[in-house]
Copies of this chain bind each other. A is one copy, B any other.
């Protein structure tokens, strides 16, 4: 019959060929990942849902429903947190399976490990809220354009970045693989602020504007510190093993003591210490310790 004649044979042949090549082990092999026990991979969509639910739990009214009634808050909070717990436990398990080396072995402990990590995380939520409320206060106090701490929760990328970081950091501390990094990267995509889940950050922390800020894995930041856009707290060099591969996990990022301020575009590299109350000027390039109370800035008169 005429109607069953193929009308785009060239397109067909092309698509068939592409499918063939993309399914060939040589091609597939390079991008295929086998989780332990054939577990599903961690899911971006589920993590996004988890983060949205946690934002609602921590800052009711600012996220989720715009109107919250105190008298029934408890009902909805309990249901919300139970869902978070179930979902998080599943994603943590997928994280463990993703990175597990015993690809095909049965590995029973992983499930209870996931449950325990999820519960331990849930237990830190009140403390996470306390810290984030402090971060909102710091934003208000540090920015002349801010009208109230509440405005900071609503509008400031710093609060979004810290919401993700303080959650990701707890999961990182619990040795959960993959998931903390995915949570951090969500905030990075949203705010341009890239904080590694490993970084330890003290109370009342504020990043103004924030785009381009990088805070490395082994940073230690004291209380009441403030950064501006484009600040890098990075590593100076990457020691390698004799075989030429990088040594992973050594302390290689700066320490900021309490009350340190770093202005826009400054770069601080290596395991240096910026002493208590020091102020680092914009665009500075720092690879050595800065004493407590110092105020350093560049002299860069134009030609």
Contact = CB atoms under 8 A, between A and B. Distances in A.
Contacts of A27: 126, 129-130
Contact of A209 (B194, B281, B286): B194
Closest 9 interchain pairs by CB?
A79-B79, A30-B133, A40-B67, A21-B126, A75-B78, A40-B66, A296-B302, A72-B82, A43-B66
Interface in A6-21: 6-12, 14-19, 21
Contacts of A269: 282
A142 B245 CA distance: 9
A17 B123 contact: yes
A279 B39 CA distance: 42
The copy count of this chain in the complex is 6
Contacts of A59: 31
Q: How large is the interface on A (under 10, 10 to 19, 20 to 34, 35 or more residues)?
A: 35 or more
A254 interface: no
Interface string A114-148: 01000100110110011011001000011111111
Contact of A144 (B17, B123, B235): B235
Contact of A285 (B23, B157, B246, B282): B282
Interface of A: 1, 3-4, 6-12, 14-19, 21-23, 25, 27-34, 40-44, 57-63, 66-67, 69-82, 85-86, 94, 98-99, 115, 119, 122-123, 125-126, 129-130, 132-133, 136, 141-148, 150-151, 153-157, 177-178, 181-182, 184-185, 188-192, 194, 196, 198, 209, 211-214, 216-217, 228-230, 232, 234-235, 238, 245-250, 252, 264-265, 267, 269, 281-286, 296-300, 302-303
Nearest to A249: B144
A44 B238 CA distance: 41
Given A31-B58, A31-B129, A33-B150, 13 more contacts: A3-B34, A11-B85, A15-B81, A16-B78, A27-B130, A32-B61, A75-B75, A75-B81, A99-B147, A151-B181, A155-B178, A155-B181, A228-B234
